[in-house]
Chains A and B, each alone.
Chain A
Amino acid sequence: MNVFDYVRPASVAEAVAAASEGDAAFLAGGTNLLDLMKAGASHPARLVDITRLPGLDDIEFAADGTIRIGALVKNSDLARDAAFLAAAPAVAEALLAGASPQLRNAATIGGNLMQRTRCAYFYDPHSACNRREAGAGCDARGGDTRNHAVLGWTDACIATHPSDLCVPLVALDAVVEIAGPGGTREVALEVFHALPGETSAAETALLPGELITAVRLPAEAATFAPNARYLKLRERTSYAFALVSAAAALRIEDGRILEARLALGGVAAKPWRARDAERLLAGAAPTPEAFRRAADAALDGAHPSGDNAEKIELAARVAARALALAAAGTPERMPALPGSVFAPAGVNANGGSVHG
């Protein structure tokens, strides 16, 4: 790890000022940044420690139903907040499906949005990577690509976004609040993360010096609470990144889907909102056939970026299953294995099973 300048600002304005010059990075939970610095994949000249900034660690429930999550709220605190769990159970389930309890105790909501890809070629400083150095090339192409993208990738970059949290957040129309040298602004989470271009791999909408101050869920997010799930397929029962994941949320009335939300994780450089699938489901009956049609629509245009063709079919199945789980209802209590395919289905599941 390189020697870096360490500053601990007292206000958001000071933090933004401290990060606006030179090669600076904000330090919050540190669970991703220090990992990257130790790997030699990241070498900031200055760390701006924002952990003590006042006013960024509250979960606010506005009278109109909006939920505002301060950027420094810890993953575990958000997942454990009873009111939040009641309003956004799929978000809580995604939080608890990610990382480990220790990491969730340190990691922050803002930091989670800024999480960088787990692509091994990004982490390996000896491999060419357009994310680390624009124009360097992409050694992941033609390498070990089992975990790489099937949607939205280019020859410049085939990495995936690793976040669990962002998948249900993007499905629920979350908005990112940002403070920067030019004042404050908002960006929809759906456009916060960038897909790679033909030659470059810009990652987020943040400009130099800009700081995430909060993530907001609109009031309507809570209307999905009775039928909202997160499902994460992985090679180990716990403490593993997703092979693919999906967040599904439904508003069901009289046996019809009024509105559906679907997003996929582990398939693209961003959490992948599947709006075509959502449109197909609006007004449909919640049947396995409808879910599969929607899932296929979600994967429309997918193609392997290497030796990962099976991931397309797997992602479609995960999406269909997440929808079926959502239709079966949010479990009364958070499952013992959150997000797991081995977590039991909700109370309305037909005979307890949602499998074919």
Chain B
Amino acid sequence: MTLSLSLTVNGDRHEVHLEDARPTLLDVLRERLGLVGTKKGCDRGQCGACTVLVDGRRINSCLTLAMSVDGAEITTIEGVARNGAMHPVQAAFIDNDAFQCGYCTPGQIMSAIGLIAEGEAGGDPERIREGMSGNLCRCAAYPGITEAVRDATERLSQNQRKSA
């Protein structure tokens, strides 16, 4: 039996055929669609490296069956830069040295984008730390991550004011 589903990933629609329903969204992105920017750190929802946006919300793609998000809009790290320009969160991660080895970084950035969209942390570092605590960084670049998210939140609100 072959199952099929369709996913819109970073604006591109993909028809995916699976031998059975086991593959997770993470494994479909990485092994079948070749979108390897999303990382597998624990495969059990305990590290956040696999964070992507599903219909605009940050989730762990390792605990999501691909079949159950059939038809959804997925955003991965490959899809956040626009027209060659980095997303403000990406730029803030570089400027604030918010990573070392880089392995957790795609998940951190997707989580930060989700956090900022949720709108509850604002510029409060303690709320940012709590809101980013679902993303482990074994290099422990946490001070930079917190500062980058605060910085990006400010940049995005300035952008909004400008465009308003």
Contact = CB atoms under 8 A, between A and B. Distances in A.
A105 interface: yes
A101 B43 contact: no
A103 B58 contact: no
B44 A101 contact: no
Interface in B37-83: 43-45, 48, 51, 57-60, 62-65, 67-68
A27 B65 contact: yes
A76 B54 CA distance: 14
B111 interface: yes
Contacts, number: 93
**Size range of the interface on A?**
20 to 34
Nearest to A50: B68
Given A35-B45, A101-B131, A239-B134, A30 B21 contact: no
Contacts of A3: 20, 22
A337 B133 CA distance: 11
B3 interface: yes
Contact of A101 (B3, B64, B134): B134
> Which one of B3, B22, B114 has the highest number of Cβ atoms from chain A below 10 Å of its Cβ?
B22
A356 B65 CA distance: 49
Nearest to B61: A102
A27 B133 contact: no
For this complex, into which size category does the number of interface residues on chain B fall?
20 to 34
Nearest to B70: A8
Contacts of B111: 101-102
Interface in B1-58: 3, 20-22, 24, 43-45, 48, 51, 57-58
Given A102-B134, A337-B130, A30 B48 contact: no
8 contacts: A5-B21, A34-B24, A51-B68, A76-B57, A102-B58, A103-B45, A106-B60, A336-B130
Interface of B: 3, 20-22, 24, 43-45, 48, 51, 57-60, 62-65, 67-68, 111, 114-115, 118, 120, 124, 126-127, 129-131, 133-135
Given A51-B68, A102-B111, 11 more contacts: A3-B20, A4-B21, A4-B22, A6-B20, A30-B68, A34-B63, A101-B118, A102-B59, A105-B114, A336-B130, A338-B130
A-B CB proximity, top 3 nearest: A100-B134, A6-B21, A238-B133
